[in-house]
Structure 1
Amino acid sequence: MNDLIELLYRQRKQLRHVAETMWNSKYELHLTSSEWSVLKSISEGKRTVPELVVQLDITKQGVHKFLQSLQDKELIKTELVKGTKLQKVASLTDKGQDAMQKSLALDYEISEMVRASIGHEQYEQLISILGKPLISN
């Protein structure tokens, strides 16, 4: 019996590994999977620490650790913004935007590798299936 969750996890892990390996072979800037997750979330728009905690399902301490690491690599900048309370807000720097553009190009390259591996029709079916909720409420 195939365990769907385990199969999806293994495929995600393999694709993440391929993406990291390709990135690391092309660029000197090395990022972990977790750093990529945080960076991709920030690339969708400015994010506060609480938003990142909820969106990425990681601890507040983890978010702060990754923000500091990404800031040290000059990919993001943070600022304190006063709203109902003082919050740290993260946004991409020019270097971060450049890294995201390069990452999108690699994502496309990997998508094409998957298409070549499983065939065009199966690729389109996979995209269609994964684009829908797998469990309806």
Structure 2
Amino acid sequence: MKYELHNPDVIDLLSERYEILRRLAEQKWINNNNVYISNSEWSIMGRIYKKQLTISDVAKGVDFSRQATHKFIKSLEAKELVEVSSVQHSKKHKAINMTEFGKTCYEKNILYKREIEQQLIQTLGEVEVTKLKEILTLNWDIEQLKV
């Protein structure tokens, strides 16, 4: 499968590769499991994995609305991936924690993504993948770019 963009810029290249890799990871999950978890739900699970957070904390840290966050959390709860409980000394806040099943799913997904990364290393080479990871983790100072 070869993808070519006509005169690609860095934003389009990053977006295209992200979409391809995201689809691969999603397909790997679907092929090996019988519970569907959306990208937004994975995002929430990533935020709460091995942490004690409130729903409010999660909503502040994601790129979608509070209303959407609540909807995704309800979906995760219905799938028994997370538990929502009252916070001691607060009637307003609710805590969100990953269930054992949720942790197992999250950890399996990490392994699937590592398998894809290993395939990239086999295709591109370890030096190139390491360079790519280094570039992607650099401080790009994106907030300073002009709109």
Gaps of 5+ in 2: 1-6
Indicate yes or no: 2:58 matched with 1:52.
yes
In structure 2, the CA distance between the partners of 1:83 and 1:14, relative to structure 1 (3 Å rule), is farther
In structure 2, the CA distance between the partners of 1:65 and 1:126, relative to structure 1 (3 Å rule), is same
Structure having the higher Rg = 2
The offset of 1:26, in angstroms, is 0.6
Gaps of 5+ in 1: none
Return the match for 1:127 from 133, 139, 147.
133
The offset of 1:82, in angstroms, is 4.8
How many pairs are equivalent? 137
Contact kept, 8 Å, 1:49 with 1:60, in 2: the verdict is no
Name the counterpart of 1:13: 19
Indicate yes or no: 2:98 matched with 1:92.
yes
Distance in 2, matches of 1:36 and 1:49, equals: 15
Indicate yes or no: 2:53 matched with 1:38.
no
Secondary structure in structure 1 of the residue aligned to 2:101: helix
Distance in 2, matches of 1:83 and 1:15, equals: 43
Identical columns (%): 27
Distance in 1, matches of 2:54 and 2:69, equals: 10
Distance in 2, matches of 1:7 and 1:135, equals: 19
Indicate yes or no: 2:102 matched with 1:101.
no
What amino acid is the match of 1:45?
Answer: K
Secondary structure in structure 2 of the residue aligned to 1:29: coil
Name the counterpart of 2:3: none
Over 4 Å off, 4+ runs: 82-85
Distance in 1, matches of 2:85 and 2:59, equals: 17
Secondary structure in structure 2 of the residue aligned to 1:114: helix
Name the counterpart of 2:85: 79
Return the match for 1:2 from 3, 8, 16.
8
Distance in 1, matches of 2:30 and 2:140, equals: 33
Name the counterpart of 1:23: 29
